[in-house]
Each structure stands twice: as C-alpha cells, then as structure tokens.
Amino acid sequence: MSKVEILPNFIGGQRRKSTSPDFDWVRNPATGQDLAKVPLSGPEDVDKAAQAAQKAFPRWRRTPPGERVQYLYKLKQLLEEELDNLARSVTEECGKTLEEARGELQRGIENVEVACGIPTLMQGYNSEDIARGIDEIMIRQPVGVVAAITPFNFPAMIPLWFMPYAVACGNCIILKPSERVPVTIARLVRLIERTGLPEGVVQVVNGSRETVEAILDHPAIKAVSFVGSTTVARAVYARAAADGKRAQCQGGAKNPIIVLPDADMETTGRIAADSAFGCAGQRCLAASVAITVGEAGKSFRDVIVEIARKRKVGYGLEEGTEMGPVITAESKSRIEALIQKGIDGGGRPLVDGRGARIAGYEQGHFLRPTVIGEVSADNPVSGEEIFGPVLSLVEAATIEDAIEWVNSGRYGNMACLFTQSGAAARKFRHEADVGNIGINLGVAAPMAYFPFSGWKDSFFGDLHGQGRDAVDFYTQKKVVVERWPKEWSRKF
C-alpha cells in the first residue's frame, strides 16, 4: 500500500473514492511515518453505503444460514493465512507489539469461528398445543441494515466482534473504523472480496465525527454498535435510542486488581504488569489500579516497581520489545498531564515514565511504564480513566474495604483478584459490581462464545458484543400462533 494513498470506502462491493475533499493522515505512532490518507466522509457517503446495504438486504436475508456461514468459513481461512501480514499492519498503525497484534487477530478469528455456528445459535423454539389444536413458534429474523463504529486500540479484533455475527444473522453492515487506524480494515476488505461475499452485505465508510452522526441519523440503519470513551458512548447511545435504533455502546474503564497477602507476588506482579502496561495501557481491560490488602502492600510494590523499570519499550516490530508507543502526541501529552495530577494530588512517583526517548525513534509517542504509589481515594487519578501505561497503588486494610473501593467507582468493566483462598475468590466474584471478573489473572477477556460484559458507565445498552448476546442483538424475535382446523383443510 502506498504511503500516501487516499484510502477508498467500500460500498456495494466496490472501492469508491469518498465524495468529501477532507482527509486526515494515518501515521505510524512509533516512527512518525505517513502510512496513508483517510477520507473524512460525510452524510452523502453514508447514504450511499446505507442504500447499497438496503438493496442487498432482501436477498441476503433469504439466503439460508447454512449458506451464509460458508463465506465466514472462507474468511476464517484467509484471516489465518494472512495473520502475520495483518498483525504487522496493526503494529504499524496502532503501535502495539507484534505479539500483541497477533493475539488481537487470533481473538478476532475466534469470533468468526463462533459466528459460523449461526444455524444452531439462531434457532428459535416452539410449543405444540398451547391450547387445543393451536401451536406457537418463536423464530428469529435479521434486523436489517446495521452499523459498527470501532476504536483505534484494536483495529482488527473489535470490527470482528460485530461484523461476523451481523452477517451470519442475515443483516447487512456498515463499518466505520477509527480514522486513526483504517489501514488494517482496508486490508480486511480485500480478504472479504476474496470470499465472494455478495456485494452490499459489508460496507466500509471512513471518517470522523460527521460520519458517526450521519450513521446515527440515517433512517435505514436499524442498529448501532460502538466502542470508545464513556462520554461518546453515552452520546451515541442517547442519539441512537432517540431515533428508535438498537444500540450497544461500550465505554471507558478504570479497572482495579486486588492483591491479597497470600498471593504469589512474583507471578502476580508479572501478570499485573502485563495487564497494566500491555498495549501501552490502551485497552479497556487494562489494569489501572492495584489495591493491596494488608501486608501485601510492600511486597507487591517492590515487585511491580522492579518489573516496570525493566520493561523494554520500543518499536513493536523489533524483537524483544515489550511495550510500544501510545497512539498520538496528544495522547502522550494528556497521559503525562494526568501523571502530574496524580503526583500533585499526593501520589508518590515510584516509577516515572514521562520524557521517554527511544533511540532511532525520536518521532514516536513513547512513554515508559509508570507506577504511582500512595494514591488516596480523593486523588484525581484514583477514578479517572488514563488509557496509558500507568498503574496506581492503593492500600486497603481488608478485602471488604477493597471491594467497597471497587464498587464505589463509576465504571464497571473489569476487576481481578489475586489470592490462594477459594472463599475470598467466591466472595469477590459475588460482591464486585463489574461485568468481567478475573481470579488470578490480569485481563479477564471473555472468550468469543461469552458476552463482553461491562456494567455501569462502562456500557450502555442491554445486549453486549460476542456470543449469544450478539445473536440476540442482531435478530428480532417473531412469535407465530397458528391453528389449522380440520374442517378448513382442502380435500384431495
């Protein structure tokens, strides 16, 4: 792909130039290299995509589910064959390490695989003789034209949270990738073309805020999936709902981990570091607060500080790199300002990752892992999403105090507990007010056949992404009650 290519939209089975003259640059966050230009499409392009999807929908919905999934089987095969190339694309435009990018692709492929089970997952149910001679049947039918608005931090995986299920259920979908990372989706489109999927089933419209607003306001689009910050998720949910659309909107997070004194500190520290600093902290399941209980405070602090100081930061394509850059210079500045707020609020900088300079990559947006100790409940960073490689340390006297701290936050995406006590683990999983629970692991990422279950300000909607929730979201239930009296039957 040319470094200065203006990426096309993908509408009606064809790559099309956006009607908008406006564009933005896509740059490698580690090197500053220009990768492509992305058009900032407006309402006209969204309308073309919606019309193409609407035109394709009647035929696609009548395609038997067993036939629909044959295209997904082919897509799964192509994704596996091109995994390394796609992973490299993710690293180049997103900044994560190549190993992290491969893991992201594998998670996306798992969702394609689960969606291939739609002939079973989409089944309804029936009852014979609900009254004498009367039967009742529930069937599932596709919603129609749907859209997914996806973020920068998982350029491949999160679109694959939505697209396979939507398509398998008989819908036609419009993808709007983040304008910061559209190159991977452009390459995914080439694979979709190779599957032979009928034109109009999948569209891609590049753009920014105006594109999102046009999607939310278009009357042909019946459902919207979104992943991003809580502020935007709330606004997207409200605007979509006001227009009568279905919406599932994943927001931000402030994910705590609790460390009990009986935890294995070396293992806990390694797992916690991978959670907090993996993907440069730019994932909605990154640990951002470690709550140590009792005497776990000093031992965990010593371990996590040593690991943070030794973590190798650099370009994700270079062997041995453990953490890449953050996505933009603006993100780097915002994270550094929040670190200072945490220090000004009484926190102690045990490891300060600001001012990082990586030899050979001076144009990159690098920070090093940061650990802030002695963070109190009223510290500005104790409840604010940082979305960077920053871990705050909080001390609690008991597990009850730690759980209270978890439940007092506005977010409810994930919380994890490290312990050897089954009783403590059971108490924690029962009482913690979050949607994803981890026991002795740092990233409680659900498998594709389970819902990605955020709570509180981390999610707006009723049905989450992945698994059976996705099938429920992308289908509408129709109940048929029927009677066939003998005397009405024709005699042959």
Q: How confident is the model at residue 1 (pLDDT cuts 50, 70, 90)?
A: very low
DSSP character at residue 198: P
Contact predicate 466/445, CB 8 Å: no
Q: Is the pLDDT of residue 421 over 90?
A: yes
Q: Output the pLDDT for position 485.
A: 87
- For range 26-47, the mean pLDDT: 97
For the question of residue 94 being annotated catalytic, the response is: no
Contact predicate 299/265, CB 8 Å: yes
Q: Output the pLDDT for position 487.
A: 75
Pick the catalytic residue from 172, 279, 284, 416. 284
Closest C-alpha among 5, 1, 46, 45 to residue 25: 5
Q: How confident is the model at residue 486 (pLDDT cuts 50, 70, 90)?
A: confident
Q: pTM to 2 decimals?
A: 0.95
Contact predicate 279/153, CB 8 Å: yes
- For range 115-140, the mean pLDDT: 96
**Whose structure tokens read 């999102």?**
212
- For range 242-250, the mean pLDDT: 97
pLDDT tens digits for 127-137? 999 999 999 99
pLDDT tens digits for 143-172? 999 999 999 999 999 999 999 999 999 999
Percent of the chain with pLDDT over 70: 98
- For range 454-475, the mean pLDDT: 97
Angle, vertex CA 481, rays to CA 479 and CA 482, nearest 5: 140
DSSP character at residue 344: H
Q: Is the pLDDT of residue 14 over 70?
A: yes
Q: Output the pLDDT for position 231.
A: 97
Q: How confident is the model at residue 2 (pLDDT cuts 50, 70, 90)?
A: very low
Q: Is the pLDDT of residue 374 over 80?
A: yes
Q: How confident is the model at residue 55 (pLDDT cuts 50, 70, 90)?
A: very high
Q: Is the pLDDT of residue 492 over 90?
A: no
Beta-ladder partners of 125: 138
Q: Output the pLDDT for position 490.
A: 67
Q: Output the pLDDT for position 491.
A: 58
Q: Is the pLDDT of residue 5 over 90?
A: no
Q: Is the pLDDT of residue 205 over 90?
A: yes
Q: Output the pLDDT for position 34.
A: 96
Q: How many angstroms separate the CA atoms of 139 and 118, rounded?
A: 13
Q: Is the pLDDT of residue 3 over 80?
A: no
